[in-house]
Structure 1
Amino acid sequence: MSTGPETPLLDTVRTPADLRALSDDQLPQLAEELRAELVDAVSQTGGHLGAGLGVVELTIAIHHVFNTPHDRLIFDVGHQCYPHKILTGRRDRIRTLRKENGLSGFTKRAESEYDPFGAAHSSTSISAGLGMVEAARHQGIARNVISVIGDGAMSAGMAYEAMNNAGHMDARQIVILNDNDMSIAPPTGAMSAYLARLVSGRTYIGLREAAKQFSKRMPKFIQDKARKTEEYTRTFFSGGTLFEELGFFYVGPIDGHNLNHLLPILRNARDAEVGPILIHAVTQKGKGYAPAEQAADKYHGVAKFDVITGAQAKAKPNAPSYTKVFGQALVQEAEHDDRVVAITAAMPSGTGVDIFEKAFPDRTYDVGIAEQHAVTFAGGLAADGMKPFAAIYSTFLQRAYDQVVHDVAIQKLPVRFPIDRAGFVGADGQTHAGSFDIAYLGCLPGFVIMAAGDEAELKHMVRTATEYDEGPLAFRYPRGEGVGVEMPERGEVLEIGRGRIMREGGKVAILSLGGRLKHALLAAERLDGFGLPATVADARFAKPLDTALIEQLARNHELLITVEEGSIGGFGSFVAQHLFNEGLLDNGLKYRSLFLPDRFMDQASPDRMYEVAGLDADGIVKAVFGALGREEIAQEGGASIA
């Protein structure tokens, strides 16, 4: 077992106050030790490695120059926050990252005063930072607010909306663009660093402000020409015209790994009495760890790995992942229909669209972190005869809800929504759980919603979605491996709104929607041992409901239980409403609905999370006996029961 790297200087730093006590000359050694500690920790926990390695010097420099936590430091997305956590009093828990009762893999307000704003979804940092700038102004508090945003997150419209607002308000906000991938403009060594220090310094800024005040006394056409000349002269050498047009004072590009460049520029920004500033720092993902430098994509998010070789330890799957099944099934359907196209919002491998892209690159669209655009773009494709599959995680589709309603549902456009990560996702915790899509899509008129009970069902649903042209359709499936069922050669077209009986029983009926089907069947087997043979049905559809199946189960059983990997207000609520409307609850039927707890759950393994939620086989059995009044057997099940 690893005893950890030698870190004598890092050992003296428990908080940023200790870091600020170090001299500038000591910081390169601290960066080397922090990088070694980060690699060793993530090798034991897994998590986001490449982005964190890329911001080691930047994180050190920010905490060295600014008075955190009084000064607010906001990380976008959170993938890059591990070095920050080590430096802000959480080093002793860093090897609990993403584990049950451990540190979150993202910034989290409840975890530390050094995390002023939670981040796990992209492109929020500038908006949040601007809010904090204004909060400080209204309360008469002198503080700096620094938002660190990656270049990928700058592909989202929200970032530009915030910058436009900040520029209009002339707010005193500092934005650091961590350019670690697309490299908007490469740094040009010493000259670039010199120019960046020059334009961020007090002398230049003072002269610039004096010139602005003087020009206000001139006719407007002279003011405009003077402003454009100054901007042109500066951005001719440094780039950044786009940010200037949004009202930001642009500095860069600079080498984000060179502390001799970072420190004076951050100090200049700290001391400058100007409006919003954008510092463009170019960094390298995986910096300082050779395997991550050579394969940045593979080391963005990692499993546990061997520090020396970089080899990641991944368990051999017993069945294909749902994501892979979706990607392969979509390729198969596209081979039969040239109108099938795939859309992803910067998550090709996470959604399986990368599989489709290899087969049909011309029919694949990665629109960047822009879910709103992705949905309306898909609507445009559908309106003119194409068959778009907008593959978006459940938790990220929330970001485009207005577009789903206005641009797709109201117009009854046949956009297909493959929804990955339905239900609990494990180590990514509450921010990435697919909890709400059944509820927020199920209330929309004309929406078809399917949920795959196993990997073969997912293949059928891809085929069904391809053939369905009557309006919008979504099908959801969990993260991880399938259950190992036999796979069909090609999916079949399912009858819309029709479920299936999996096994016949007597007193008890369990109606499952989605990935809990395996546990519903296991629960039925256990109930057999108590002399309670149970019927198990796979609903397949949350909307439209299979009302004939529901009524059959209600009339022929004493107890009906629904099970789903979704929030309150979803499938169980739809079933309850139908039972009530049809008077089926007036004849002594006991009805219970099992769903995700009505709270945001912290990270743990998915199995553990479902156990706590009462949505595993044991939880279903306990719910059955609780509903039947057999409390001595039910004991205290963890199920959320309505």
Structure 2
Amino acid sequence: MKNLLNTISFPLDVRKLQPEQLPELARELRAFIIDIVATKEGHLGASLGVVELTIALHYLFNTPRDLLVWDVGHQAYGHKILTGRKDVFHTNRQLNGIAGFPNRSESEYDAFGVGHSSTSISATLGMAIASALKGEIKKQHIAVIGDASIASGMAFEALNHAGVSDANLLIILNDNAIGIDPSVGALKEYLTKVKTDKRLAVQNNIIKALNFDYSGPIDGHNFDELIAELTRLKSVKGPKFLHIITTKGKGLPQAEKDQVTYHAPGKFDKISGDVLPKAVSEFTKYQDVFGKTIVELAKQNDKIVGITPAMLTGSSLKLMLQEFPNRTFDVGIAEQHAVTLSAGMATQGLVPFCNVYSTFLQRAYDQIIHDVALQNLPVIFCLDRSGLVGQDGATHHGVFDIAYLRCIPNLIVFAPRNEIELRNILFTAQTGLKQPIAIRYPRGYGEIENWQLPFEEIEIGKGVCLKEGGNVAILSIGTIANSVSKALLKLDNSTESSHYDMRFIKPLDVKLLHTIFKNHKTILTVEDGTIKGGFGSGILEFASENNYSNTIKLLGVPDTFIEHGTVEELQEICGLDVQSIQEEIEGLLE
């Protein structure tokens, strides 16, 4: 049989096919995705689940003139393959390769850059309004959003606006009952009932109540149903809403059975589907240090509660859920709600550990300031995935947290050097701290095998000297201290340098800083966050306020968006790898 996918480079080629050929194209597209992701890694299950939808959309709509926006973008691999990137798809998420998410600079078919959830309806509505103002009345605007993303506040805000507009907008709800972890909440329960009780969809429909032309639910893997309904909706005016039911991981039995693992499974056998064993590490992931420690603390302190916005597995808060289900709360993709929920709990004497990826805490900035810090409530923010995170790229690097948190009054900001420090600051934070604290730690493994030592309280605002030396002082924050230590070991004249782990970005250890500035001519700051407004900026402010004239050099993430690649590759690009740090110190010593 002729390989259809070999004949497809762009959607125009898809439109030349006969309807009866589309199922074969779907089979080949799934096989192509599985074949590449099996060895190159990436997000698998979401893209497999929307293969038929992807083909149907490009078959019926005039993309890129008609605008198609994928929410988050985990599910856009098929879209990328059909829109001119098939031959380079093997470079997906690799340094200098194509991005793992839709990206406007990469293709005209990527109508909007995504990576964080729940933005698609707002963006597409904005496009539809723009088209109307420009008189482009035949232009179509389609947003594809999942059942986990649509429960977010931003999506509801957009639905509320779209329902009273006359914009030519089609929202497609891809309902598979799972995001990364299974979807949660009342809306998820409602959508589950709609699937089994079609009368509910007709008589008691919350989407129809918002003035949308609602249709569905239909089988998202059935081309006949998809083509028929999408064709009808093309001619319907105003806001429309199509509810489709899909299976995440469709076409790979293991991915259908274990949808959490196969969201992004790493390398796997493309024939059997079995995930390939990873090299066993004697070390522990930082997320598991958090997860195991909070369980240990929760056994001792019944006021501890854990909160996460849809990241139970990624944050390892699932360990607490297993032990204390009544004290563990997955609030869905709702970072703003997670923060203010935590604030409410804190007013009543609970000890909330709010675990949010660094890049996603950006979405709740007002709540941090207005609901937590302004009221000086002792919420404990645990910022997983801080620093450079690798192949997910610019949308996911946690490089802005130091800068955006450092300016907030009342908020303590701490970065542990290693697993023991993370363990001890978690202990310290729940022992009666009277103000909020943010604890930032990286993705990946630590470097200490036996980290589960007896707890020790950490003095707030106290840095430590790791090495004493001559005229150059290196000040580091967080786990980048380990790279500094390795760089110093490689120096021939390492005795000429001191190394301090400041630990606290806020409050700074002012007493220690005065000693450092008086005893060293040159100061080098090293951080894995943005250099603008970050830890180094705080050191410059200290020097200015105290009239110090020492030479100060800052190392950190440059003032640009860092794209995708391995953490090691990106550190080298930013000058934060061991070799680059060594060369920087040598230059200062000379």
> TM-score normalized by structure 1?
0.87
Q: Does structure 1 retain, via aligned residues, the 8 Å contact 2:414–2:506?
A: yes
Residue 637 of structure 1: aligned partner: none
Inter-partner Cα distance in structure 2 for 1:239 and 1:442: 51
Aligned to 2:398: 434
3-state SS in 1 of match to 2:57: helix
**After the TM superposition, which residues 62-77 of structure 1 pair with which residues of structure 2 at under 5 Å, given as runs?**
62-77=57-72
Cα RMSD of the aligned pairs, angstroms, is: 1.7
Question: Are the structure 2 counterparts of residues 412 and 24 from structure 1 closer, same or farther at C-alpha, using a change threshold of 3 Å?
Answer: same
Quick one: structure 1 residues 94 and 359, their matched pair in 2 at CA, closer, same or farther if it must change by over 3 Å?
A: same
CA 1:590 to 1:237, structure 2 compared with 1: closer, same or farther past 3 Å?
Answer: closer
Partner of 2:155: 159
Residue deviations 1:481-531 (CA, integer Å, cap 9, x gap): 00225424233110000011111111221111011011111121123x136
Percentage identity across paired residues of the two chains: 45
**Aligned equivalent of 1:377, options 341, 347, 372:** 341
Contact 2:472/2:588 (<8 A) preserved: no
Structure 1 residue corresponding to 2:443, chosen from 476, 479, 495: 479
Is 1:626 matched up with 2:590? no
| Equivalent residue in structure 1 for 2:205, among 233, 241, 247 | 241
Equivalent residue for 2:180? none
Letter in 2 for 1:283: T
CA distance in 1, matches of 2:564, 2:22: 34
**Structure 1 counterpart of 2:231, one-letter code:** R
Is the CA contact 2:387–2:442 (under 8 Å) kept in the aligned structure 1? yes
**Which residue, out of 217, 224, 229, partners 1:260?**
224
- CA 1:490–1:245: 2 relative to 1, 3 Å: farther
Q: Partners in 2 of 1:450 and 1:468 — Cα distance?
A: 17
- Matching residue of 2:18: 23
Structure 1 residue 82 displacement after superposition: 0.3
State the partner residue of 1:225. Answer: none
1:613 alignment partner, one of 569, 574, 579:
574
Structure 2 letter corresponding to 1:432? H
**Whole-angstrom CA distance in 1 between matches of 2:226 and 2:202:** 16
Instruction: Give CA deviations for 1:272-297 in whole Å, capped at 9, x if unaligned.
Output: 2x210000000001111111111111
Is the Cα contact below 8 Å between 1:65 and 1:263 reproduced in 2?
yes
For the residue of structure 1 that corresponds to 2:25, the secondary structure is helix
Distance 2:235 2:575 in 1: 55
Q: Which amino acid aligns with 1:592?
A: K
Residues 1:550 and 2:539 are matched in the alignment: no
> Which amino acid in 1 is paired with 2:150?
M
For residues 345 and 187 of structure 1, do their structure 2 counterparts lie closer, same or farther at Cα, with a shift above 3 Å needed? closer
User: Which of 174, 184, 191 lines up with 1:178 in the alignment?
Assistant: 174
Q: CA deviation at 1:66?
A: 0.4
Aligned in 2, Cα 1:468/1:539: closer, same or farther, shift over 3 Å? farther
Looking at structure 2, the residues matched to 389 and 305 of structure 1 have their Cα atoms a distance apart, in angstroms, of 34
CA positional deviation for 1:379: 0.3
CA contact (8 A) 1:186 1:282 kept: no
Select 1:109's aligned residue among 78, 95, 104. Answer: 104
* Matches for 1:174-573 after TM superposition, within 5 Å: 174-181=170-177, 184-185=191-192, 236=200, 238=202, 241-272=205-236, 274-313=237-276, 314-484=278-448, 486-527=450-491, 529-530=492-493, 532-567=495-530, 568-573=532-537
Is contact 1:454-1:485 (8 Å) kept? Answer: no
Give the 3-state SS of the residue equivalent to 2:353 in structure 1. strand
Is there any run of 5+ residues in structure 2 with no aligned partner, and where? 178-182
Q: CA deviation at 1:584?
A: 1.9
CA distance in 2, matches of 1:534, 1:482: 25
User: Which segments of 5 or more consecutive residues in structure 1 lack a partner in the other structure?
Assistant: 1-5, 193-234, 631-642
Change (3 A) 1:411 1:531: closer
Please, which moves more after superposition, 546-555 or 259-268?
546-555
**Structure 2 Cα separation of the partners of residues 531 and 284 of structure 1:** 58
Check conservation: 2:343, 2:371, Cα contact below 8 A. yes
* 1:592 and 2:550 aligned: no
Aligned to 1:34: 29
Deviation readout 1:125-154 (Å, 9 max, x if unpaired):
000000000111111123000000000101
Distance 1:89 1:374, change over 3 A: same
Q: Which amino acid is 2:571 matched to?
A: Y
- Name the SS for the 1:467 alignment partner: coil
Residue aligned with 1:550, SS: helix
Q: The residue matched to 1:38 in structure 2 has which SS?
A: helix
Cα offset, 1:469, TM superposition: 2.4
- CA separation in 2, counterparts of 1:468 and 1:441? 22
CA contact (8 A) 2:284 2:449 kept: no
Q: 1:318 to 1:237 in 2, by over 3 A?
A: closer
Q: Which amino acid aligns with 1:112?
A: S
1:148 paired with 2:144, answer: yes
**Among 132, 138, 141, which residue is 2:133 paired with?**
138
The structure-2 alpha-carbon separation of the partners of 1:188 and 1:300, relative to structure 1 and needing over 3 Å to count, comes to closer
2: CA distance, partners of 1:388 / 1:511: 31
Structure 1, 479-488 or 256-265: larger mean CA deviation: 479-488
Residue of structure 2 in register with 1:604 after alignment:
565
Is 1:133–1:172's contact at 8 Å kept on the other side of the alignment? yes
Partner residue, 1:200: none
Q: What TM-score, normalized by structure 2, do the two folds share?
A: 0.95
**Residues 197-235 of structure 1: CA distance to partner in whole angstroms, max 9, x if unpaired?**
xxxxxxxxxxxxxxxxxxxxxxxxxxxxxxxxxxxxxx6
SS in structure 2 at match of 1:149 = strand
What letter is aligned with 1:555? Answer: K
Is the CA contact 1:499–1:546 (under 8 Å) kept in the aligned structure 2? yes
Q: How many angstroms does 1:310 deviate by?
A: 2.0
The secondary structure found in structure 2 opposite 1:341 is strand
1:311 and 1:264 map into 2 onto residues whose CA distance is 37
Deviations 1:245-281 (A, max 9, x none): 2121110000000001000100111122x21000000
Distance 2:2 2:452 in 1: 55
SS of aligned partner of 2:168: coil
Q: 3-state DSSP class of the match of 1:573?
A: helix
Cα distance change, pair 179–531 in 1 and its aligned pair in 2 (3 A): closer
- Residue 392 of structure 1: SS of its match in structure 2? strand
The 1:275–1:71 alpha-carbon spacing in structure 2 relative to 1, beyond 3 Å, is: same
Aligned residue for 1:53? 48
Q: What secondary structure does 1:560 align onto?
A: strand
Q: Provide the secondary structure at the position in 2 that maps to 1:299.
A: helix
Deviates more, 1:53-62 or 1:566-575: 566-575
- Residues 255 and 531 of structure 1: CA distance in aligned 2, closer, same or farther (over 3 Å): closer
Q: 1:575 to 1:188 in 2, by over 3 A?
A: closer
- Is this contact kept in 2: 1:442–1:449, CA < 8 A? yes
Distance in 2, Cα, partners of 1:514 & 1:97 = 30
Q: Does the Cα contact within 8 Å between 2:252 and 2:273 map onto a contact in 1?
A: no
